[in-house]
Amino acid sequence: MRVLRFYRTAIGKKAVVAVTGVVLFLFLVLHMLGNLNIYSGAEKIDAYSLYLRQFAEGFFGFGGFLWIVRIVLLAAFLLHVWTIVLLVKQNKHGRPIHYRRKRRFAATLAGVTMMVTGPIILVYLVFHILQFTTGTWQPTPYKVTNSGIGSAYWNLWHAFQVWWIAWAYIAVMAMVCMHLKHGLWSMFQSIGLNNPDRNRSCRIFASVSAIAIFIGFASVPLLVWAGAVPPPPQHTDAVDAALLDVSQSFGQEH
C-alpha cells in the first residue's frame, strides 16, 4: 500500500510523529484547561466532567464520545512512541559516525530519553485512568455522584492529599513537558518551518508552551497537597440536581 510505503521512509515517519504530536498537544491543552476548573469550585469542575459525558449522547450514548476520544488518543500515543523508536533506530544505522557528531548526539539523547520515559508515561496513564476514570484502582477515597460518574473534585482532592500521588503526577508532567518542548521543535523542523528567520520564534513557542502546560497541570496537585484548595462539600441529592443544571448551562455556553 502507498501509505505503508510512505510510512517506511524517514519523511513518512516524521510526518506521523508530527501529526500524532499535534493531536496529543491539543489534548494536553484542553485537558489542562479542564483541570483548571477545580479553582472555580466543586460544582464547576463536576459539571464540566458531566458535560463531557453528555456530549453527543444522542449518537454515542452517555460517555460514548468520551471513550472514542480516549481510544483515539491512546492509538495516537502508541503510534507516536513506536514511530519515534523506529526513527531513532533508522537514524542510528543511516548516518556515518563522524557526521555532525554533536548535533547527532543531542538528537539521539533526546530520542533515547523519549524511549525511556515514554513507557513510564504510558504506565502512568493506565493507572491514571483506573484511578480517576473507572475507579477500578482506588488507593484513596473515591466517590460517585448520582449521575453515575466519579466526582471529579472529591476524587482529585482526596488523591492529591497523598504526597506520593501528588508528586508522582508532577514528575510525570515534567517528563511530558520535556517531551513536548523537544517534540514541538522537531515538528517545526519536520514540516519545514525552521529557518534562520523563524528558529528563535519556534524555540520560544516550544519552550513557553511546555512551561505553561507544566504549570497548569502541576499547580493542581501541588496546591491541593499544600492545602490551598478547600476540601470538597458533602454531595447530596440537591447538590447533584444543581450539578445537572450547571452541566446543561455549561453545554449551552460552549
254 residues of the chain, pLDDT tens digit each: 788 888 888 888 888 988 998 999 999 999 999 999 999 999 899 999 999 999 989 999 998 999 999 999 989 988 988 898 888 787 776 655 544 554 555 554 555 666 677 788 888 888 998 898 888 888 988 888 877 888 999 999 999 999 999 999 999 999 999 888 888 887 777 666 667 777 788 889 999 999 999 999 999 999 999 999 999 987 544 445 445 554 455 455 55
Rg (CA), the chain: 21
The pTM for the full model equals: 0.82
User: Could you state, in order of their start, the residue ranges of all structural domains in the chain?
Assistant: 2-253
The owner of cell 519515534 is 84
The CA distance from 219 to 51, in Å, is 23
Asked if CATH classification 4.10.410 holds for the domain at 2-253, the reply, yes or no, is: no
What angle do the packed helices 10-35 and 64-94 form, to 10 degrees?
Answer: 140
- Inter-residue contact 144 to 135 (CB < 8 Å): yes
Torsion sign (Cα): 135, 140, 146, 151 = negative
The residues, any chain, with a CB within 8 Å of residue 68's CB and separated by 6 or more, are 60
The residues, any chain, with a CB within 8 Å of residue 163's CB and separated by 6 or more, are 225
The CA distance from 33 to 21, in Å, is 18
